[in-house]
Amino acid sequence: MQARSEALRDQPSDDRRTSEPDVAPTKRLPQAERRAQILRTATDFFADYGLTAQTRRLAEACGVSQRLLYRYFPTKKDLLAAVYRQEILGAFKMVWFLELQDRSKPVEERLTLFYKDYLNDVLNRKWLRLFLYASLADAEMAPDYISSVIKKLLVVIVEETAAEKGVTLPNDVSALHEMGWTLHGSISHYAIRRHLYRSSSVLPEDKVVAMSVRTFLAGFQPMVQDYIDHLD
C-alpha cells in the first residue's frame, strides 16, 4: 500500500519547528475546537497519504501555519499518538468485552452481534488505511493495538466458545490467540477486501459474518483437539 504522492513524503526537517511566519487561519476558533479540527483533518490526511506525509502539507489542509500546528502538537510523533488514541484505539468499545461474556445468550448470537458492530464501527475504510499505514511505517500503533485490545479479545472469544461447548482448553495463551485469529482474521480480511480491494460485495455483510461465525464454531472442537494432539 503506497501513499498517493511521493511529493507528500516527509523531509528530514519536517518534524522540526520552522521559521515560517504564521498564516492566519481561515477562521479563528477556540483552542480546544482548533485542536479537534486539526486532529480530524490529520486523521483523514494520514489515512489518504500515509504516516510519512509532510506536516507542512497537513498544516495547509488545516488552514493553519506549520508553526501553529506545532503549538498544539509539538512533534509529529505527538500528533500521530493523538490520532492513534482517538481514531484507532478509541474506536473499540470496551462494553463489547462485557457483551461477549454475557452467557445468558448463545455464543453464536454474541459473536455475530459483536462482529456486525465491529465491522460497522471499527473496520471502515479510514480506520483500515490508518492501521495498515501504521503497520508499514513500523510505528507502534499497530503492535500496541494488537497487544492491548485484540489479544484480549481473542482470549475472550475462545474461552466463551469453549465454555458453551464444554471444551477444555490447553494452558497456552499463544494457542488461544491462534485459535481466535481463525475467526477474527477472517472478518478483518473480509473488511480489507471490501473497503480497500473493492471486492467481496457479492454477499451482504450480515451473511458473511454469520457464515464466518458458524464456520468457526463448527470447527472449534476439532481445532482444539488438533492442538492437543500436536502436543502429544
What does the pLDDT read at residue 46?
A: 95
pLDDT classification of 220: cutoffs 50, 70, 90:
very high
What does the pLDDT read at residue 6?
A: 45
Share of the chain above pLDDT 70, in %: 88
What does the pLDDT read at residue 26?
A: 55
Ranges 13-17, 48-52, 107-111: which has the least confidence: 13-17
Q: How far is CA 149 from the centre of its chain?
A: 10
What does the pLDDT read at residue 151?
A: 97
Beta-strand ranges (E) seen in the chain are none
Grid cell, residue 78, equals: 505527538
User: What residue type is assigned to position 93 of the chain?
Assistant: K
9: pLDDT strictly greater than 80: no
pLDDT classification of 174: cutoffs 50, 70, 90:
very high
**pLDDT, tens digit, for every residue of 138-153?**
678 889 999 999 999 9
What does the pLDDT read at residue 17?
A: 46
CA distances from 52 to 44, 75, 94 (A): 14, 13, 30
What does the pLDDT read at residue 228?
A: 87
Find, among 70, 8, 5, 2, the residue nearest to 34 by Cα. 70
**pLDDT, tens digit, for every residue of 91-103?**
999 999 999 999 9
Asked whether the beta carbons of 66 and 59 are under 8 A apart, the reply is yes
14: pLDDT strictly greater than 90: no
What does the pLDDT read at residue 2?
A: 52
What lies within 8 Å, CB to CB, of 88 at 6+ separation is 127, 130, 131, 134, 141, 145
- The length of the chain in residues reads 232
What lies within 8 Å, CB to CB, of 141 at 6+ separation is 80, 84, 88, 130, 131, 134
pLDDT classification of 78: cutoffs 50, 70, 90:
very high
What does the pLDDT read at residue 232?
A: 66
What does the pLDDT read at residue 199?
A: 85
pLDDT classification of 28: cutoffs 50, 70, 90:
confident
**pLDDT, tens digit, for every residue of 101-158?**
999 999 999 999 999 999 999 999 999 999 999 888 867 888 999 999 999 999 999 9
The CA-based angle 210-213-120, given to 5 degrees, is: 60
